Structure 1
Amino acid sequence: MMDDSKPEECKVCFINYDEELQRPRTLPCGHTFCSQCIKDSVKNVQLICPSCRAVHSATAATQFPINYGMEALIKKFRNMQVTSVGSESPKSGQDHTRGIGKKLQSMVQEQKSSISNLISECEEVLSQLGKYQGQVRDWKTQHHQLQDKLYDLVEQNKAAIELLEQEDTSVVTMSTEGEAGKKQLQTMLECLDAVTTIQEVDTTCDEADQYSVQAEDWIRKCQELFPNFSIAGTSVKLQENIKKALDMMTRETVTTDVPVLLKYSDFTIMEKVEKITGDIPL
């Protein structure tokens, strides 16, 4: 069994969690490990939980959510350790201010309080920036995945165009043959109108039968060849997919204007991110 006595460290690599490679991420089974270990464990589009051996579909560590609760708990735990160490140090501050007046002591304490508050605010903003960085990187990953899909769609479109070029060439060839056959049949009609002897009738009818057979073969061949169901089906389906993709890209449902209340407000960075992502259909 894995040791749970040190919640601040990954149970696989035993390295303390941080806000970079060792960010804690939670698997669907509920167990948490660092991003690097999850990344190293993804094999063959799946990941086996090191704790309960549950199998999860996975291609990258970033698809699993960051355990912000764990990060907050670790941060609180570390702050408690720092506070504990500070309380055991010599009371140099008290000794230093013992020789000054009460008014000056009050000024010093007020300044210390102000600085402490600023430090806390800095830590909170740094924490928010760390979370936001994770979100930004997730967005980048999603954009790369979408870009790959778009490239794949473009390649499919190129292949479809090549197939349609071949089909067009086949149609031109068969049309040329058909025009020639039609002219031959028209010539036979003129010849049949001009026959005057039994021999001419026999000869002309034989030729007419020959051209008629060729025309019938041409008609049957056209019916068999066209349309090429594979090429036509691929073209129609691909056009539908591309039109849908373009429609989603050009649809004016997203505004780039940032609400004034979000620019200057008491919302945290991640609260503003949640507001933005909540208003934009991803």
Structure 2
Amino acid sequence: MQRPRNLPCGHTFCTSCINGLKELGHVTCPNCRLVHVVPDAGQFPISYITEDFIRRLRGTAPASLLGKAGKAAGEPVPSLDMQPDVKGAECLSRAIRSMLQEQEEKVLTTIRGCQELQVQLDHYQTSLGVWGEQQQHLEDRLQTLVDRSKGARLLVRQEEAQVEDKRKQVQQGEEQQHLMLHRLRSVTSRQEAFEAIDDADLLADQESQRTQAWQEMFPKVPTVATIRKMRVTSRAALKAVQTMETALDAKNMEENTENTENAEGTVDTEGACGDEEVETSAPAAPPSTILTRLEALLAPTLEAEDLYLLMPPTRSLLEAGLVFATHTIEGEKRYAQVSLQDDCLYLHSLQDQRPPPRAAVVPIDEVVPVAPPCLVFLDLTWPDSPPCRVLVRLIPDTPLGRQFIWLCTGERGPCYANTTFFHLKYSGQPGERVSGGDYQRNNGKGGSPLLPDLDKGDYRESRRAGAVHAVWRGDDRSNWNSNFGILIKDLEEEGDPVDTVFGEIEAGMEGLMEAAKQYYITDVVVKDCGVVLWAE
């Protein structure tokens, strides 16, 4: 049997599979796609719990229970599920057998605890090895930065020495000019005057040429550019370190405060209860393990403004797919991934799946706009065609626009994700339009509204393709719901305009036109949706 092994991300694979995934000292997890550094020992820690479970299924003893004496003598060691010797136990009383069975369960529980602790320690040991390599890499990069800084400082000193040398030469030239000026003022004969004039003219020309040459020599562009670059780089590095230290100090202070509050035990209260002592017990804390505490310590801190500043640490988290927004619906937490694509920041629809370890999480209400104007997106797919992203500008602020935001994010439960277009009207004619948004039935007969009085907003009129408008059931214009329509082609000028417009297509109109050509319009699926948080 190939021994199962745990990757630092928590997923388990057999040894041969992991060996097949190794590439240049790294392994990419097939499940979560995180990249891990292969430990110095060449293998990741063994998953003893998984191995024990497999051996239980096969009825063999786990290798972790083989004692040294048993290995040396070739004696069999009992497995965890091995039954006691019935013949030997017949001579024992029922009470003793019960005590033995109780003690056996206690020993088995202790063994499993040891195995679980060993798995956690293996994980921690692997993480320490990875951190050591990463720290060495960071140290090398920092040393490179320090070396460059020393080189820039050396350039400064060389430039200072050259400037000081030229300054002394200029001072000497000025002194010669003062002497020449004194000579010109103290002339007593014609011959002496002509000689002084010739010498002064030659000296002035020489000094002017030298001054002009030195004026063009300084500042040296490559030298100043190198010095300025190193100053900016060094200041940015120091600022990033200071910001990270401040965030970590704040987090440690918050954790210490929580630990102090949780450590409080009995509370004496007086008043309505008289002198009677009332014991107030703190709620039981969830089980704490090495891995859970380690994950909590390593969880990156992220504020809403960090997403808009896009500093290098935040950008790195986004590029690694480790930024999520969280929202609680009916007591259950859901998570929406935040992605950076083409210099745009997208918040995708909420999902039940928990984010991967060490992901940064921010509350969704801190980043999602409450009302239009804003930009949302729909990712459309249909057979034999690549996905198409459609950007919708919601404007002005209307009840339908606010509801559209909720249905793109899933904040109120229902969501446009995995819905289909259900109707194509006036195909190939002026005013051609598609309808979608029925999150309940996908046929236009469902899609209960999330807000009352949807028809009471300040809606616009339009005849132009790309207008996003309300759709209602039957002839009752007040019976608005979650369904929406999109004009694919312009309306004729002499026709009535659409007067329930709450948004317009900003990008992806070509994809919508292709989607409208599908034989079955229900083949067009909204695969994903969400809100554009930031775009250049």
Query: What's the TM-score, normalizing by structure 2?
Result: 0.39
Match of 1:158 among 150, 161, 170: 150
Answer whether contact 2:152 2:227 (CA < 8 A) is retained: yes
Match of 2:298 among 265, 269, 277: 277
Separation in structure 1 between the aligned mates of residue 36 and residue 94 of structure 2, nearest angstrom = 64
Match of 1:253 among 239, 244, 247: 247
Structure possessing the higher relative contact order (Cα contacts under 8 Å, 6 or more residues apart): 1
Match of 2:19 among 34, 38, 49: 34
Name the structure where strand makes up a greater proportion of residues.
Answer: 2
Superposed, 1:178-189 pairs within 5 Å as 178-189=170-181
Q: 1:79 to 1:183 in 2, by over 3 A?
A: farther
Match of 1:109 among 101, 107, 110: 101
Cα displacement (A) at 1:161: 2.5
Cα displacement (A) at 1:18: 4.9
Where structure 1 has 5 or more consecutive residues not aligned to the other structure, the ranges are 1-7, 10-15, 50-57
Cα displacement (A) at 1:74: 5.0
Cα displacement (A) at 1:275: 0.3
Separation in structure 1 between the aligned mates of residue 189 and residue 116 of structure 2, nearest angstrom = 110
Separation in structure 1 between the aligned mates of residue 180 and residue 221 of structure 2, nearest angstrom = 36
One-letter amino acid matched to 1:42: L
Match of 2:162 among 154, 170, 177: 170
Q: 1:19 to 1:116 in 2, by over 3 A?
A: same
Separation in structure 1 between the aligned mates of residue 82 and residue 24 of structure 2, nearest angstrom = 50
- Where 2:140 maps in the other structure, the secondary structure is helix
Partner of 1:243: 235
Q: 1:179 to 1:106 in 2, by over 3 A?
A: same
Cα displacement (A) at 1:19: 6.8
One-letter amino acid matched to 2:128: V
CA shift digits 1:1-51 (9 cap, x unpaired): xxxxxxx64xxxxxx45579xx9999xxxx95239x82xx529xxx899xx
Q: 1:103 to 1:238 in 2, by over 3 A?
A: same
Name the structure where helix makes up a greater proportion of residues.
Answer: 1
Q: Are 1:81 and 2:75 an aligned pair?
A: no
- Where 1:166 maps in the other structure, the secondary structure is helix
Partner of 1:199: 191
Q: 1:32 to 1:206 in 2, by over 3 A?
A: farther
Cα displacement (A) at 1:240: 2.5
Q: 1:179 to 1:84 in 2, by over 3 A?
A: closer
Answer whether contact 2:6 2:47 (CA < 8 A) is retained: no
Answer whether contact 2:5 2:46 (CA < 8 A) is retained: no
Answer whether contact 1:192 1:204 (CA < 8 A) is retained: yes
Cα displacement (A) at 1:270: 1.0
Q: 1:124 to 1:165 in 2, by over 3 A?
A: same
Match of 1:141 among 123, 133, 155: 133
- Where 1:219 maps in the other structure, the secondary structure is helix
Aligned-CA RMSD value: 4.2
Separation in structure 1 between the aligned mates of residue 59 and residue 146 of structure 2, nearest angstrom = 56
Cα displacement (A) at 1:109: 0.8
* Percent of residue pairs identical: 21
Q: 1:169 to 1:71 in 2, by over 3 A?
A: farther
Cα displacement (A) at 1:122: 1.2
Query: What's the TM-score, normalizing by structure 1?
Result: 0.70
- Where 1:148 maps in the other structure, the secondary structure is helix
Where structure 2 has 5 or more consecutive residues not aligned to the other structure, the ranges are 29-34, 63-77, 264-284, 303-312, 314-536
Answer whether contact 2:173 2:207 (CA < 8 A) is retained: yes
Cα displacement (A) at 1:111: 0.7
One-letter amino acid matched to 2:96: L
- Where 2:235 maps in the other structure, the secondary structure is helix
Partner of 1:3: none
Separation in structure 1 between the aligned mates of residue 122 and residue 154 of structure 2, nearest angstrom = 48
Q: Are 1:268 and 2:289 an aligned pair?
A: yes
CA shift digits 1:128-150 (9 cap, x unpaired): 11111111111111111111112
Partner of 1:230: 222
One-letter amino acid matched to 2:246: E
Partner of 2:530: none
Separation in structure 2 between the aligned mates of residue 59 and residue 269 of structure 1, nearest angstrom = 19
CA shift digits 1:211-231 (9 cap, x unpaired): 112221222222222112222
